[in-house]
Chain A
Amino acid sequence: MQAKKRYILVFVSCAFLAYCYFGGYRLKVAPHRPRRAQHESAKDGGVQPYAQLPSFMGYEQRQPLSNESAVATATAATAVSGKRKPPVAGCRMETCFDFTKCYDQFLVYVYPPEPLNSLGAAPPSSPNYQKILTAIQESRYHTSDPAAACLFVLGIDTLDRDSLSEDYVRNVPSRLARLPHWNNGRNHIIFNLYSGTWPDYAEHSLGFDAGEAILAKASMSVLQMRHGFDVSIPLFHKQFPLRAGATGSVQSNNFPANKKYLLAFKGKRYVHGIGSETRNSLFHLHNGRDMVMVTTCKHGKSWRELQDNRCDEDNREYDRYDYGTLLQNSTFCLVPRGRRLGSFRFLEALQAGCIPVLLSNAWVLPFESKIDWKQAAIWADERLLLQVPDIVRSISAERIFALRQQTQVLWERYFGSIEKIVFTTFEIIRERLPDYPVRSSLVWNSAPGALLTLPTFADSSRFMPFLLNAMGVEPRHNYTAVIYVQIGAALGPNAALYKLVRTITKSQFVDRILILWAADRPLPLKKRWPPTYHIPLHVIALGGSSRGAAASPTGQTGPEARPSISQRFLPYEEIQTDAVLSLDEDAILNTDELDFAYTVWRDFPERIVGYPARAHFWDDSKNAWGYTSKWTNYYSIVLTGAAFYHRYYNYLYTNWLSLLLLKTVQQSSNCEDILMNLLVSHVTRKPPIKVTQRKGYKDHETARSPWNDPDHFIQRQSCLNTFAAVFGYMPLIRSNLRMDPMLYRDPVSNLRKKYRQIELVGS
């Protein structure tokens, strides 16, 4: 072999080895690719690769249960009824609740307060628990008859079960044992805000055995909560109002909301012990510019002994910021866990419209089974604390806009007062009853919310005034005219009442006419009524007649009871249309006015749309609400003497309003129209709508009506104040505008105008 050849050979070999060493791995993958491609093309060829595989289920799993398996059946059935689980820990409605008590109505019985003890002292009860009991006792849920009750509420204060707290009630087990209907807690509901105590704050340690009672408890965790049985409620502080309470503090709906801070937190931190890690590490997120995280360890008696080396610095930073200002000026508010999972901060942030950023792992948010918190809060994970800034920065302005609005909707509808929290708890339990219709999540999570949407009225939101635009439907056509006859003046052939009926008959949208006869005079003969042609005319005698009594679910027909004026708002079966035109017998209107008001109502079906307007104002000298019928530049009430509203409000008026309010109306035989206005404004948070009309109507009130009576006027003023007190706030809202027909009083030929009559017979 020649040297040249040899060298080439050696070189080639070396090169080959080098290639194998450095580049050989490429061979490993390269030949694979074509095979895979081939395989996939075979798949596309039509034969599914799984067609040759067996199915996971065959005939055996679905065959009828033979007698042989009936034995197994029996065991399975017993397993279901709770044998498999310890009965209490595994409570479900089916196993721990007696539905038979709730078939007719959902009523709540409150145990009477315990007798004074041997020392003559009243049993301890915190103000908040008193408020809960008051809210129930003054509500329509309440019954004083334990036999009729579906739910039982303890007279024993169970709100604070922290044994170190001053509100802690001792000897609860023995107190419970004394209750006549306790029955191991079946059908009872126990309200609780705090459980456990230092150092472990155990969630389940109530200090007594709640048995089969439903827990309405704050700071519940996923593990302790009996799913579908217990109800998680929010933690509220000692000054929380019984009713109404403060509205949400978001006053403007700016987009984008340029708040000074992006994320804020100001609160205590615990140097060690349960729940301390999260708050102790918050200072990592503090940057003093758009993220403000200030904590203090200066709380408790012995903070000096327990403090760590960050405490001094933290305290200094802590004093630089004000909690209230932070809430108002921050887009997001951090809601970390404290010793317990929930905190006051959650509701405070919600009210302030500061979007809560939850940092409390495993916490079951209040009313989580019904409220979709994804629309109002942001979740962070305690394990991923340092990701929080990235999370909040990544949220779009549109999302923030929607989240902030939703915080206000939820706050106002479910959390604003103790009454709302208690009622929401009851409604959640009520929806579990077999015969009670369930409200959809859309109803629960949009205004006016579940408390004001009575599902017994209709099973579809189609029949309610609130979600029509969201559903893309319009209210159903035509209206029912309801004329309330109270005075019953002598009825000549030209009586105002007959004139009114004739006018309505000419309207193109009327469906039927309903006359509610509440006057003392006898009913006129059928033939005396003007002809209504194809439009049905129903005359219903109220008061002494049996009809009125039967139709009145509020049971105002005691021996001495006179018919309540509220009867004009009963949900009569004859009213089939969505729109109700409520009229007094002496209303002077023409057909154009009716038709025009109806077309306006179709665009605002959730409001009262009508003619005679009144206003309320705050009278500083009397320190009370005033009521005026003078001509003003604004109004807040549209009298139901001539107004359109949705049929649903009749139902709400009769079945939802506090009995206290209905009683006021009954006793004064007055103010029912004011109450209706308060109700509708309470539901919609919007003013009513006045439409134009020829002048003269009721503005100079006629001699025969009680309107001239000065007492009547004073009475209405005092009604307004009573109502505002029961509602807890003044729901009425002012409006500055009036709806006129498009060409109203325009300098064009009257022939071009659609609603000519409104102008022709002017004042």
Chain B
Amino acid sequence: MNKYTSLLGAEQRSKTMYHPKEQILNILTYILLLIVAVCATVLLCDLSSQRDGFFYSKKDSAVLDLSISHTQEVLLRPDTEHRGQNVNCTFWDCLNIYKCEHDTLKVYIYPLQEFVDEKTDKVASTLSSEYFQILEAVHKSRYYTSNPNEACLFLPSLDLLNQDVFDKHLAGPALASLNFWDRGENHLIFNMLPGSAPNYNSILDVNIDNAIVLGGGFDSWTYRPGFDVSIPVWSPLVHQTNLLPIHAAAHRKYLLVSAQLNLLPQNLRTLTDLTAKNTEQILMLGLCDNKDLKSRCTLAKPNQKRLEYPRVLGRGKFCFLGRSLRVGQPDLVEIMSQGCIPVIAIDNYVLPFEDVIDWSLTAVRVRESELHSVMRKLEAISNVKVVEMQKQVQWLYSNYFKDLKTMTITALEILESRIFPLLARSSRQWNVVNKNSHSTFNPLFLTSLAPKSQGFTAVILTYDRVESLFLLIQKLAVVPSLQSILVIWNNQKKMPPHLSTFPTISKPLKIIQTRENKLSNRFYPYPEIETEAILTIDDDIIMLTSDELDFGYEVWREFPDHIVGFPSRIHVWDNATMRWHYESEWTNQISMVLTGAAFHHKYWSHMYTYAMPGDIKHWVDDHMNCEDIAMNFLVANITNNPPIKVTPRKKFKCPECTNTEMLSADLNHMRERSACIDRFSKIYGRMPLRTVEFRADPVLFRDNFPDKLKRYNDIGSL
């Protein structure tokens, strides 16, 4: 301080003298300024160092930057004691579930770090392009979190994909040095090539404690079911070929192609012997002289042919994958990329994603000791099965294997389904069999008959035809299987008649007044409907007899997933206009049963209201038409089942019945209905309706038999 004062003093002497009091004040001010300046410099320095730390070490940072050029070095002491994984780990005791109490799976990625040995300067592992892609896939996925405190799983950025490349003595300490390691709890280790010479363990020889291994080389001894995830070994060769179309089935000249280079000698011998016997059927390939992995050569020495790999795998129906030193081989992904069916002769190999993928649909497994009979086994497979498997291979490949990103996300999804079992997909959803547009899943798959005692609920949609409504209610009330009646009053301008004016009946009756005059009100799954079966009926359908309705319900009980009803229609393809055409003629065929008088399961009402594809529901409400066609489409599309018409045709009072005054209106109506069919079939992408030539009648219908012995005799009057 003295120094400063003297300095200031010198300055002051060269200038005008001030009052001493003022001088002191001045000095104080300057001191203050100086302090401010020092503070500012310190702050700046601090800031810049902070910023450096931000880019280069990323410790506890808010944002992760996967930039390769900025990797921090960490010094390590090599691990002398050798410990492996905890073989007794299960999901239930090695995974800390309390870290995963959020709604979704969150994965934290450690910043990129380079782990270097203190003494020798050896690097634990260098980052490979594949591992970078895995990190990037996680980083860009919905699972990523930058906050280690909310993370459920932790992904080290240390590349452990190939044990030949990383230093197994340094990898353990490197993992242990991670901030949140905690004996590997909730940590993910990606590894594709475990073990090294000479014994090639099927699990990586690194102390990973309780970490979860997402491994490409598990056999059933090292795989901890429900804890580890088996992943494929990625092949760098696949990347380039993904763009080319795969060979068509016609080009698959060979039954079996074997192009794996590193087969065990005894397997190689067996295959070579087989090839000698079946030269037409087996294509056996080996390495070319230039040692390029992207081409394979035939074994015949003099006229060796060079073939492009892995494209050549597309020449076979089946492709061979055998045991090598390591259990998992990149050939599997290459085989699948070419749409070839893998023939796997590796005992106890835990196939990729085996937890969720049903490999029996995709691959053929042969026991190693029965390799010699592989051809017999392949020849026995029917062509239909081969086509199914080929489709399945392509589907699996494009959904779970096609690149590292897809593979990584699939692996995380499997982990997610374990930690949040509610979100898990069922095996049906993982292995959608035969994805042609017609395959379906019928949500009403319980095969037993519906209970007779329950009866049905009649849902009457009405607007203002009170007289006809009352008549209908009276007729319905005497049907023995009727449980209750629900009147949907769709008229907002008028109040429904008071309940006391309704006909007195012995069954419960409820009236629901709707807020809007919409056709979809007819299919709303009202909580008042307590039965499985719903009879939707128009207020003017008073011509059905009690026996007919009772029998209709009986038929529905036998076909509870179908629409079962009375008025029927047919759709036909008009070759002239190239459109679908709607018909109400009396024909030998039907494909729709109108919901003016039809039974259906309440579940379909739910589906109609909440799960109708496209904008069909709105469109129908806007146009006040075609709700019955929409219902027929919906059920046919989900179940592939035709509707069932009950009892002979009647004269229904219906808009399209011939009526000379209304002829033009009718034509218009029919045109509109035809347009509906056209429109819906476009939305569904197919025509789901099925045409049938039968209807259901009572067993003794019109038989020469006394009527009073028939259970249903008042049936079929016009």
Q: Which residues in A have some Cβ–Cβ distance to B below 8 Å? A: 1, 3, 6, 9-10, 13, 16-17, 20, 24, 27-29, 31-32, 35-36, 39, 49-57, 59-65, 69-73, 75-77, 79-80, 84-85, 90, 92, 94, 99, 221-223, 227-228, 247-248, 250-255, 258, 361-362, 372, 374-375, 378-379, 381-384, 387, 391, 394-395, 397-398, 401-402, 405, 408-409, 434-435, 438-442, 445-447, 458-460, 462-463, 469-473, 596, 599-600, 603, 613, 631-635, 684-687, 690-692, 695, 733, 735-748, 752-755, 763
Contact = CB atoms under 8 A, between A and B. Distances in A.
Contacts of A458: 382
- Closest 8 CB pairs between A and B? A472-B438, A472-B439, A56-B128, A53-B129, A379-B421, A633-B711, A438-B360, A754-B588
A227 B226 CA distance: 11
Contact of B360 (A92, A439, A470): A439
A606 to B, nearest CB: 10
Contacts of B235: 57
B325 A469 contact: no
Contacts of A736: 551, 554-555, 558, 698-699, 711
Interface stretch (B167-175, B258-266, B498-506, B626-634): B258-266
5 contacts: A57-B234, A61-B164, A252-B454, A378-B421, A442-B433
A470 B441 contact: yes
Contacts of B200: 72, 76, 79
Interface residues of B, number: 163
Contact of B694 (A94, A228, A253, A599): A599
Interface stretch (B336-344, B537-545, B637-645): B637-645
A523 B433 CA distance: 48
A460 B226 contact: no
A739 B702 CA distance: 13
Contacts of B616: none
A462 B388 contact: yes
Interface in B31-88: 32-33, 35-36, 39-40, 43, 47, 50-51, 54-55, 62-63, 65-68, 88
A36 B65 contact: yes
B388 A9 contact: no
Contact of B225 (A51, A60, A227, A599): A227
Among A53, A70, A409, A741, the most chain B Cβ lie within 10 Å of the Cβ of: A53
Contacts of A63: 261-262, 287, 291
A744 B716 CA distance: 11
A441 B367 contact: no
B422 A742 contact: no
A36 B445 contact: no
Given A1-B26, A72-B325, A460-B385, A255 B367 contact: no
Given A62-B330, A72-B325, A361-B92, 14 more contacts: A6-B25, A16-B40, A24-B47, A55-B236, A85-B221, A99-B367, A252-B451, A446-B445, A447-B445, A459-B384, A471-B438, A631-B705, A735-B558, A737-B696
Contacts of A695: 703-704
Contacts of A441: 358, 360, 427-428, 431
A600 B98 CA distance: 58
B197 A69 contact: yes
A6 B29 contact: yes
Given A442-B428, A460-B388, A255 B603 contact: yes
Given A54-B129, A255-B602, A634-B699, A459 B264 contact: no
Contact of A738 (B136, B165, B431, B701): B701
Given A53-B68, A65-B262, A460-B385, A223 B434 contact: no
A254 B455 CA distance: 12
Contacts, number: 404
Contact of A740 (B381, B438, B695): B695
Given A63-B287, A251-B451, A763 B704 contact: yes
Contacts of A747: 718
B692 A603 contact: yes
A227 B588 contact: no
B14 interface: no
A50 B129 contact: yes
Nearest to B223: A227
B698 A470 contact: no
Instruction: Tell me the interface secondary structure of chain B in the complex.
Output: loop
B700 interface: yes
A222 B715 CA distance: 62
Given A76-B325, A255-B532, A746 B192 contact: no
A746 B694 contact: no
Interface string B233-264: 11110000000000000000000000001111
B286 interface: yes
Contacts of B695: 739-742, 744
Contact of A60 (B164, B370, B454): B164
Contacts of A446: 445
A742 B693 contact: yes
Nearest to B265: A70
B221 A740 contact: no
Nearest to B239: A55
Nearest to B438: A472
B450 interface: yes
Interface string B469-500: 00000000000000000000000000000000
A740 B421 contact: no
Given A632-B699, A740-B701, A17 B384 contact: no
B440 A222 contact: no
Contacts of A75: 198-199
A85 B388 CA distance: 39
A137 to B, nearest CB: 30
Contacts of B159: 56
Among B55, B133, B699, the most chain A Cβ lie within 10 Å of the Cβ of: B699
B149 interface: no
A407 B542 CA distance: 42
A600 B560 CA distance: 18
B698 A391 contact: no
B586 A746 contact: yes
B67 A24 contact: no
Given A10-B29, A64-B286, A64-B287, A375 B586 contact: no
Interface in B683-697: 690, 692-697
Contacts of A56: 128-131, 159, 161-162, 165, 192-193, 234
B202 to A, nearest CB: 9
Contacts of A744: 648, 695, 697, 702
B32 to A, nearest CB: 6
B279 interface: no
Interface in B376-396: 377, 381-382, 384-385, 388
Given A53-B68, A53-B132, A99-B367, A59 B446 contact: no
A384 B92 CA distance: 11
A742 B590 contact: yes
Contacts of B712: 633
A251 B448 contact: yes
Contacts of A51: 129
Among A20, A387, A613, A753, the most chain B Cβ lie within 10 Å of the Cβ of: A20
B426 interface: yes
Contact of A739 (B40, B347, B696, B700): B696
Contacts of B91: 222, 362
B692 to A, nearest CB: 6
B63 A36 contact: yes
A383 B710 CA distance: 63
A63 B263 CA distance: 9
Nearest to A473: B438
A620 to B, nearest CB: 20
Interface string B414-436: 00000001101111100101101
A63 B52 CA distance: 45
Interface in B101-117: 101
Among A71, A361, A460, the most chain B Cβ lie within 10 Å of the Cβ of: A460
Contacts of B293: 59, 62
